[in-house]
Chain A
Amino acid sequence: MTTSQGIIMILAGLASGPLLGGLIAGLDRILTARFQSRIGPPLFQPFYDVIKLFGKEKMVVNVWQAFCANAYLTAASISVVLFFLRSDLLLILFIQAVGAVFLVVGAFSSTSPYSQAGAHRELLQILCYEPLLIFVVVGIYLLTGSFKIASVYAWNQPVLLKLPFMFVVLSFVLTIKLRKSPFDLSTSHHAHQELVKGLLTDYSGSFLALTEIAHWYETVLVLGLCSLFWTTNPIGAILLVGLTYFLEIWIDNVSARLNWRWMLGYGWAMGMSLSLVNLVWLYAR
């Protein structure tokens, strides 16, 4: 990658969150509405929401919420930029985790029980998906011999063919990361949350807007990880990601929320056994 290509990639990465992420969120809302026999909001509604949030008066419970919201956004955007630069997958995961942890610390900084319980649930969600993501990355490493994304693109056939179970594990993580039912424990897009807005309860105004944009970045990152399973053909990649995302929305609409014991139990039992099967298969090769 030359310097100019690098700069283009950095800019593309930075732009992808607010643009692509926001569009995906808009599409998501329309599709969800159609599933529920509603028309739904316009495609650009998420952008309007965020712009409106930025216009609100600044209110905080604790000034460190401002720090945490900013740190969350910074970490999330860097992880996407590194993804666009085709950097090290494990490094990207670690940086994404920084953002997730700061979001939690920000929620902790309010004493509201909703916020606190949401923060704990989010930690449990991190606990559930973090090892699974590492397994996915290790699977890719065992196949391609490298943690660098560049080597996945250099691979001559879709990774999906050799890592089918890993893709299932990744889509499981996707459900948690996109805050979709049945794993929208800590906070949810929908108004059916016993925790009010969970860990986002006391983020407001522009700080809430920052967390929303950071969430878009995270969405782009996880969908990007999905796209790595079909790198030989851009149409294949788009089809794979689109299909997966459609499935996520469908699952979101047909399932009820589980509690964290179920999530951790199912997540680890299913995720780990599928990962192990796939990893052992790769070792045996």
Chain B
Amino acid sequence: MKELTYVLIFLPFIASLICFFKIPSQVRSFMILTTGCILIVSSLLLIPYVPFAFTPQTLFGLGVHDLIRVPDFILMFAILYFGFKHRSLLIIVPAVLQIVLVIWFEIIISSGMIEGQQIFRSVTQAFYCDNLSLIMVLIISIIGSIICFQAIPYMKNHEEHMKLSTSKQPRFFFVMLFFLGVMNGLVLSNDMIVIHFFLAATTLCSFLLIGHDGNKEAIRNSVRALWMNNLGCLAFTVAMMIYHNLGSTDVQQIIRTPPGGGLSFLALALLCFASFTKSAQFPMQSWLIGAMVAPTPVSALLHSSTMVKVGVYLVLRLAPAMHGSFLSQCIALFGAFTFLAAAGLAVGQSNGKKVLAYSTISNLGLIFACAGLNTPESITAAILLIIFHAITKALLFLCVGTIEQHIESRDIEDMRGLYSKMPLTALITVMGVVMMIMPPFGLLLGKWMAMEAAARNIFVIVLAAIGSALTAMYWARWAGTLMSDPFAGKFKLEKQPVVTWAALLSLCAGAGILSIAVPWLYTGLFTPSMSLNYVPPYTLNDGVLENSYGVFAALPLCLIAVMGFLQSILAVRGATKARICAPYLSGIQTAEPRVFVGPMNQLVKAEAGNYYLSNIFGEKKLTIWINLAAGVLLTLIVGGAL
């Protein structure tokens, strides 16, 4: 498994370096495809070895810590460089602080080494992989690779559309693949110093990707992403130093020692703050919303399998240390609040990508709430939500990207009746929406578990119940708009590159099959080796998940859903033989289904638009209050720890 770990982390680095050089685009595409396939296979091969932990004596002739020391500084100076380049004090100050802190830190460590105390040896395992890490590795390697595959045709189109004289694809794929390696490294490392390096790397990667198109808006939004995430990195650095002072930067040791005293709680709170910035929780949501200016594969990668999942991963990792604490309760409240607030903002949006972005923030909020509730049930819910959210959100982003290149708009109103223009893409998108909100799909199973786990916490359940209704509203509206078309015309498949179809269909089928496979997934992955102190809370009988107070008939419902689906599809086939009539317009119909003969024999075109309720849920109206409330909650989290 050592070899597999190295492949998962270092292969993307090597491949990305090759991509960076000007090589023929066919060779590059081939490189990306093979790298992706090797990543997928290696991540699957890793399954039987879990859980494992190991420390290589030397890696390329150096200790792990020595190996990352120089790149760590290079990264921090690179961030500082971009800070100066874009003249942003918000980047420069935290970056300088971070560099100073890390230098100081290195001096402490090396002095410790000289005195022979060997403090650094207190990190027993450099690499650690339990089921939580494994799930993250699988998500990153499989979904990340699929997104990279789809990026090949997308970027070709994208650059043709932008009429670039020199292709920027080498840099683009360099960062994309690098990102995958960094993410795998992050979830497999056990030493906070190493994690800090990878965290800084994700920050820089997302900055480069968001600013990829190089226009004014892209630059502005990428700078915002950099300063916000850099602030998170600074918080992480401080937490790392506190932990070093307390004895160990070994994550497994940290969560095994119950926090005693304010200092360790402060460190935990700082780590949570770092996670919130990475996962774009309020009030740091604007970087993720701004990230949608990037090419769509970037959004897909950031939203589904990388970056934002770092935050929830870290908090879930640390959850055992916070068990039963006030901090944990605050996180639950904060997460539930974000779930509701982001869902509200999504209702007010007609921009498809913004709806997706807010829904990501909202779902991450729910995952944080689950992590904060900190019971086996809620942790199970959180991990299910991570898995299914990653697949479904990647699918939806790729769909929107495909639609956008076709109709040159990302506005939901422009997608009205998309079914007649791009039937299969529209259907896959609707399928994605259905998998976001409906049983028996995994995401709803997660939500069900989350709600039952939250029922004892009155604030969390109230926020979650309202948020859940808002969520159903904005998704149903979107799905309906896609299908809104008076024609029952024959199914004429639109033209798309094979890779695009493969990516969309594999993600769609993957989410469906995994939902059916939930019972097996549960027995296979949700074992005590999920994370520390985790006990599988549900018993499984005939595919029915049950605990003392709830029962979810996962498998039977899937079977009924499949039968219901087939029966409804048959009904559709029957309906194609039915007489097609024009929609009712309360006037004399004309040959054109949207036009009727009105008063004075004038032709009137009937039009309807969606409700976005922007005077209630508008971004301008709500954001400031939500940020304020989130700020107060955040102060409670960090201040409460002191």
> Is A111 a contact partner of B485 (Cβ separation < 8 A)?
yes
Give chain B residues whose Cβ lies under 8 Å from the Cβ of A42.
none
Candidates A65, A82, A119, A127; contact of B469 at CB < 8 Å? A127
For residue A63, CB closer than 8 A to chain B, the reply is yes
Give chain B residues whose Cβ lies under 8 Å from the Cβ of A67.
568-569, 571-572
Candidates B430, B462, B473, B486; contact of A61 at CB < 8 Å? B486
> Is A110 a contact partner of B484 (Cβ separation < 8 A)?
yes
> Is A112 a contact partner of B437 (Cβ separation < 8 A)?
no
- Closest B residue to A210 by CB, please name it: B571
Candidates A104, A120, A124, A138; contact of B455 at CB < 8 Å? A138
Give chain A residues whose Cβ lies under 8 Å from the Cβ of B469.
126-127, 130-131
Which residues, 35 to 67 on A, are CB-close (under 8 Å) to B? 57-67
Among A83-91, A161-169, A233-241, the stretch that binds chain B is A83-91
Asked if A78 meets B576 with Cβ closer than 8 Å, knowing A63-B488, A70-B568, A108-B483, the reply is no
**How far, in angstroms, from A70 to B564 measured CA to CA in the complex?**
8
Asked if A196 meets B584 with Cβ closer than 8 Å, knowing A109-B484, A120-B611, the reply is yes
- Closest A residue to B347 by CB, please name it: A127
**How far, in angstroms, from A127 to B474 measured CA to CA in the complex?**
10
Give chain A residues whose Cβ lies under 8 Å from the Cβ of B458.
276, 279-280, 283
> Is A57 a contact partner of B455 (Cβ separation < 8 A)?
no
Give chain A residues whose Cβ lies under 8 Å from the Cβ of B577.
58
**How far, in angstroms, from A218 to B327 measured CA to CA in the complex?**
42
> Is A101 a contact partner of B550 (Cβ separation < 8 A)?
no
Which residues, 541 to 569 on B, are CB-close (under 8 Å) to A? 548-553, 557, 560, 564-565, 567-569
**How far, in angstroms, from A62 to B488 measured CA to CA in the complex?**
5
Give chain A residues whose Cβ lies under 8 Å from the Cβ of B479.
105, 108
Interface centre among B458, B567, B582 (most CB of A within 10 A): B458
Candidates A64, A108, A119; contact of B572 at CB < 8 Å? A64
> Is A130 a contact partner of B468 (Cβ separation < 8 A)?
yes
Give chain A residues whose Cβ lies under 8 Å from the Cβ of B579.
57-60
Asked if A134 meets B465 with Cβ closer than 8 Å, knowing A60-B581, A91-B553, A94-B439, the reply is yes
A183 to chain B, nearest CB (A): 16
For residue A114, CB closer than 8 A to chain B, the reply is yes
For residue A74, CB closer than 8 A to chain B, the reply is yes
Candidates B575, B584, B608, B610; contact of A60 at CB < 8 Å? B575
Q: Main secondary structure on chain A at its contact with chain B?
A: helix
Which residues, 581 to 619 on B, are CB-close (under 8 Å) to A? 581-586, 593-594, 606-608, 610-611
Among A23-31, A139-147, A243-251, the stretch that binds chain B is A139-147
**How far, in angstroms, from A279 to B455 measured CA to CA in the complex?**
10
Q: What number of A residues sit within 8 Å (CB to CB) of B? A: 68
Among B25-33, B183-191, B444-452, B522-530, the stretch that binds chain A is B444-452
> Is A88 a contact partner of B571 (Cβ separation < 8 A)?
no
Give chain A residues whose Cβ lies under 8 Å from the Cβ of B610.
120
For residue B310, CB closer than 8 A to chain A, the reply is no
A270 to chain B, nearest CB (A): 15
For residue B461, CB closer than 8 A to chain A, the reply is yes
> Is B439 a contact partner of A111 (Cβ separation < 8 A)?
no
**How far, in angstroms, from A18 to B451 measured CA to CA in the complex?**
32
A268 to chain B, nearest CB (A): 8
For residue B99, CB closer than 8 A to chain A, the reply is no
Candidates B480, B565, B574; contact of A107 at CB < 8 Å? B480
For residue A12, CB closer than 8 A to chain B, the reply is no
A217 to chain B, nearest CB (A): 14
> Is B572 a contact partner of A111 (Cβ separation < 8 A)?
no
> Is A112 a contact partner of B550 (Cβ separation < 8 A)?
no
> Is B480 a contact partner of A276 (Cβ separation < 8 A)?
no
Candidates B430, B439, B576; contact of A63 at CB < 8 Å? B576
**How far, in angstroms, from A59 to B577 measured CA to CA in the complex?**
9
Q: What number of B residues sit within 8 Å (CB to CB) of A? A: 68
Asked if A91 meets B484 with Cβ closer than 8 Å, knowing A59-B579, A111-B583, the reply is no
> Is B549 a contact partner of A74 (Cβ separation < 8 A)?
no
For residue A216, CB closer than 8 A to chain B, the reply is no
Candidates B466, B551, B582; contact of A131 at CB < 8 Å? B466
For residue B142, CB closer than 8 A to chain A, the reply is no
Give chain A residues whose Cβ lies under 8 Å from the Cβ of B472.
97, 101, 126-127, 130
> Is B611 a contact partner of A61 (Cβ separation < 8 A)?
no
For residue A19, CB closer than 8 A to chain B, the reply is no
> Is B606 a contact partner of A112 (Cβ separation < 8 A)?
yes
**How far, in angstroms, from A65 to B580 measured CA to CA in the complex?**
11
A64 to chain B, nearest CB (A): 5
**How far, in angstroms, from A147 to B549 measured CA to CA in the complex?**
5
> Is B486 a contact partner of A62 (Cβ separation < 8 A)?
yes
Asked if A138 meets B483 with Cβ closer than 8 Å, knowing A74-B564, A124-B611, the reply is no
- Closest A residue to B582 by CB, please name it: A61
For residue B417, CB closer than 8 A to chain A, the reply is yes
Q: Mark A169-203, 1 if CB is under 8 A from B, else 0.
A: 00000000000000000000000000010000110
- Closest A residue to B607 by CB, please name it: A113
Give chain A residues whose Cβ lies under 8 Å from the Cβ of B568.
66-68, 70-71, 74
For residue A116, CB closer than 8 A to chain B, the reply is yes
Asked if A64 meets B483 with Cβ closer than 8 Å, knowing A95-B439, A101-B438, A135-B462, the reply is yes
> Is A90 a contact partner of B468 (Cβ separation < 8 A)?
no
Interface centre among B483, B548, B576 (most CB of A within 10 A): B483
7 smallest A-B Cβ distances: which pairs? A108-B480, A58-B578, A112-B583, A66-B575, A116-B608, A130-B469, A74-B564
28 chain-A/chain-B pairs, Cβ below 8 angstroms = A60-B579, A60-B580, A60-B581, A61-B583, A66-B571, A67-B569, A74-B567, A78-B560, A88-B551, A88-B552, A90-B452, A91-B550, A94-B448, A104-B480, A112-B608, A113-B607, A114-B584, A115-B583, A126-B469, A131-B468, A135-B465, A141-B452, A141-B549, A146-B550, A147-B452, A147-B455, A147-B550, A196-B586
Given A123-B611, A141-B455, 4 other A-B contacts at CB below 8 A?
A64-B419, A66-B578, A101-B437, A279-B458
Question: Which positions in B face A, CB cutoff 8 Å?
Answer: 417, 419, 430, 437-439, 444, 448, 451-452, 455-456, 458, 461-462, 465-466, 468-470, 472-473, 476-477, 479-481, 483-488, 548-553, 557, 560, 564-565, 567-569, 571-572, 574-586, 593-594, 606-608, 610-611
